[in-house]
Amino acid sequence: MTADLYTLDASSRDYDRIASALAYLGDNWRDHPDLDRAAKAAGLSPHHFQRVFTRWVGVSPKKFVGALAHDAAREALDEGACVLDAAFEAGLSGPGRLHDLFIAHEAVTPGDAKRRGAGLSFVWGVAPSPFGDAILLIAPRGLSAMAFADPDVDSGFADLAARYPAADYTRDDAIARSWSERIFTPTDREQLPLALYGSPWQRQVWRALLTIPPGDTTTYKAIAEQVSAPKASRAVGAAVGANPVSWLIPCHRVLASNGKLTGYHWGVERKRAMLAYEAARR
């Protein structure tokens, strides 16, 4: 057997084992199985399983189980469960472990996650922009979110409202239009007020994004270094992805380390158009 065929054969065997391991973890994640139990389900030694699983899935078995637990707890909180019940839903022994889980995945406490938007009142509306119809959320202190109507207004609004599910919303397209004109009028250089609701870590990353000049780009690694977390590129990427204010907080100016355009919540084509728009006006 040639080296290439041997590699393909080994890869095929690994796929079958990892598929079995994923099925096992999907069925048993609430028990938070340790590495030995998960490796046994795959028919591999713990060390080999850890390496192969991480290569195939992109995260370790422990982080994979943690992600499943976090998703279950988040869903329980969003449906009105208390923190204790959410911890039990995630297969955890109590709120302390749930706290650690949420800090690891969202950099917020379970209580903060449960209160998202409670007590806030937003005016929202639809307005034209150079990049398609924009949807804006305006709080009394300033702009809280701006997105795009993809694939339609209802879907775009639902995407933003999901960030603040407990808030109150009133629609006023005229107010949204006035904000859009201030945002996209090139001669209007006033400092627009922002009312950002996010974890301290997220706001730190968003402030770093605001320092990128129009027409320039940077990388996730550079942002991580700017916020004094050089080894946290992945966490920076998550915070960039959670940016609620498109365009004005310019997450479209962040590229992969190789200079390529990477995933953008509102479409890579729109990201490319934004960069071209800024470059032409630089």
| Residues classed as catalytic | 251
Count Cβ atoms within 10 A of the Cβ of residue 114 and give its class: 0-12 exposed, 13-18 middle, 19 or more buried.
buried
Q: Which of 68, 100, 107 is nearest to 83 (CA)?
A: 100
The token duo for 75 is 């869903």
Cα Rg of the chain, angstroms: 22
Contact 221, 227 (CB under 8 A): no
- Contact criterion met (CB below 8 Å) for 107 and 139: no
Q: Taking Cα atoms as reference points, which of 93, 69, 73, 91 lies closest to residue 83?
A: 73
Name the residue among 125, 257, 140 with its Cα closest to residue 179: 125
CA torsion 58-62-66-67 (nearest 10°) is 10
Secondary element (H or E) of residue 154:
helix 153-161
